[in-house]
C-alpha cells in the first residue's frame, strides 16, 4: 500500500499559526509515516523571511523523504516566491514512487490572489503525466501509475466557502487537460474547507487548513490521508484496478473515511492521443 498525506494552508505567522495544533499534526503525520507528503501551498501568511524560516523548520519536522510542496498565493506575496525556491526548490516539483506519480505546479502569481496555471505550462504538464512523452525526461513515471496533480488553488468551486473567488482563471482548460492526461487525483487547498468532487474519472480533493486559525464557519483544522492499494496488496481488486481510500484526519488523529473507490487503471493508449493534442499548446 502507498500512503499520501495531503496538507494545505499552514499560514505560518504570528497572527494565524496555531503551534499546539501544528505539533499534533506533525505527530499524527509522522505516526502515519506516509510515503509521499504533499503540501499545497500557503505555507506562510505574508511570505516574509521570518515566516519562511519558520515554515522550513516546521516542515522539516515531518519525517517523510518524499515531499512535494507548491506555493500558494500568500507565499508569492512580497517576492516571496524567491524565498520559496531558496528553501524548498522548484515551484513545480514532481515525484514518482511505487506506482504513484505526483506532478505539482505553482498556480500563484506575485501579489495577485487569483489562481492561474497558464497555457505555457500545458505542454510541460502533459509531458510529465504521460510515460511515453516522458521518456526523455529521465522520469520514473510508468504506465499505469496513479497520476496525482497538486496545486494550491481550487479548480472547482467548494461549497460553504461563500462568494466564489480566486478560482484559476483557466480552470476549465486545466480540468480538461488533466482529464485527457488520465489524472486520477487532483489535490488542492486555498478555500480552507475540505471537500471531494468526482469529475468524470478524477477525484478533485480539497484540503482544509491544517493548523491555522483561518477556518470557516463550522469546519475544523484537518488534512487528508490517501491510501492506494493494488492487486498485490488486496484480493479485492484485479491487476487492472486499484483501490483508493481518502480519509479526512483531525489534528487529534481521528480519521473519517470520505471515499472508498475501486478505480480502473488507465492505459497510456487511452490517453495517448489526447496527451499528444495537449502537447501542441507548448
Closer to Fe ion by Cβ: residue 9 or 145: 9
**Nearest distance from C-beta of residue 112 to Fe ion, angstroms:** 14
**Nearest distance from C-beta of residue 181 to Fe ion, angstroms:** 27
**Nearest distance from C-beta of residue 40 to Fe ion, angstroms:** 10
How far apart CA 58 and CA 189 sit, in angstroms, is 19
Closer to Fe ion by Cβ: residue 8 or 96: 8
Tell me which residue of 69, 73, 74, 62 sits closest to 34, measured CA to CA.
Answer: 62
* CA 273 and chain centroid, separation: 26
Closer to Fe ion by Cβ: residue 42 or 54: 42
Closer to Fe ion by Cβ: residue 67 or 154: 154
Asked if residue 25 lies in contact with residue 251, where contact means CB atoms within 8 angstroms, the answer is: yes
The cell for 177 is 487537460
Closer to Fe ion by Cβ: residue 111 or 260: 111
* CA 212 and chain centroid, separation: 18
Q: H-helix or E-strand containing 102?
A: strand 100-104
**Nearest distance from C-beta of residue 241 to Fe ion, angstroms:** 35
Residues 6+ apart with CB under 8 A from 210: 7, 8, 9, 10, 21, 22, 25, 221, 222, 223, 251
How far apart CA 101 and CA 87 sit, in angstroms, is 23
17-255-232 Cα angle (round to 5): 120
**Nearest distance from C-beta of residue 190 to Fe ion, angstroms:** 6
Binding residues for Fe ion (CB under 5 A): 9, 42
Tell me which residue of 36, 43, 161, 146 sits closest to 101, measured CA to CA.
Answer: 146
Closer to Fe ion by Cβ: residue 42 or 127: 42
**Nearest distance from C-beta of residue 209 to Fe ion, angstroms:** 6
Amino acid at each position: 500500500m502507498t500512503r499520501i498525506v495531503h496538507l494545505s494552508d499552514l499560514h505560518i505567522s504570528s497572527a494565524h499559526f496555531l503551534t499546539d495544533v501544528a505539533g499534533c499534526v506533525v505527530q499524527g503525520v509522522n505516526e502515519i509515516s506516509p510515503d509521499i507528503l504533499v503540501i499545497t501551498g500557503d505555507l506562510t501568511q505574508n511570505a516574509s523571511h521570518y515566516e519562511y524560516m519558520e515554515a522550513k523548520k516546521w516542515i522539516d519536522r515531518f519525517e517523510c523523504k518524499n515531499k512535494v510542496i507548491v506555493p500558494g498565493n500568500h507565499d508569492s506575496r512580497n517576492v516571496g516566491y524567491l524565498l520559496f525556491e531558496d528553501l524548498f526548490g522548484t515551484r513545480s516539483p514532481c515525484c514518482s514512487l511505487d506506482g504513484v506519480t505526483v506532478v505539482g505546479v505553482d498556480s500563484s502569481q506575485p501579489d495577485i490572489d487569483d489562481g492561474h496555471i497558464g497555457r505555457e505550462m500545458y505542454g510541460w504538464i502533459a509531458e510529465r503525466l504521460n510515460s511515453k512523452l516522458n521518456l526523455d525526461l529521465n522520469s520514473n513515471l510508468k504506465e499505469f501509475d496513479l497520476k496525482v496533480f497538486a496545486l494550491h488553488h481550487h479548480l472547482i468551486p467548494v461549497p460553504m466557502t461563500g462568494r466564489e473567488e480566486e478560482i484559476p482563471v483557466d480552470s476549465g482548460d486545466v480540468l480538461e487537460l488533466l482529464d485527457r492526461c488520465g489524472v486520477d487525483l487532483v489535490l488542492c487547498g486555498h478555500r480552507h474547507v475540505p471537500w471531494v468532487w468526482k469529475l468524470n474519472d478524477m477525484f478533485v480533493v480539497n484540503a482544509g487548513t491544517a493548523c491555522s486559525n483561518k477556518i470557516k464557519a463550522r469546519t475544523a483544522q484537518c488534512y487528508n490521508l490517501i491510501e492506494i492499494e493494488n492487486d498485490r496488496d488486496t484480493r479485492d481488486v484485479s491487476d487492472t484496478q486499484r483501490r483508493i481510500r481518502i480519509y479526512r484526519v483531525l489534528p487529534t488523529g481521528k480519521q473519517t473515511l470520505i471515499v472508498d473507490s475501486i478505480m480502473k487503471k488507465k492505459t497510456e493508449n487511452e490517453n495517448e492521443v489526447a496527451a499528444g493534442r495537449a502537447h501542441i499548446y507548448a
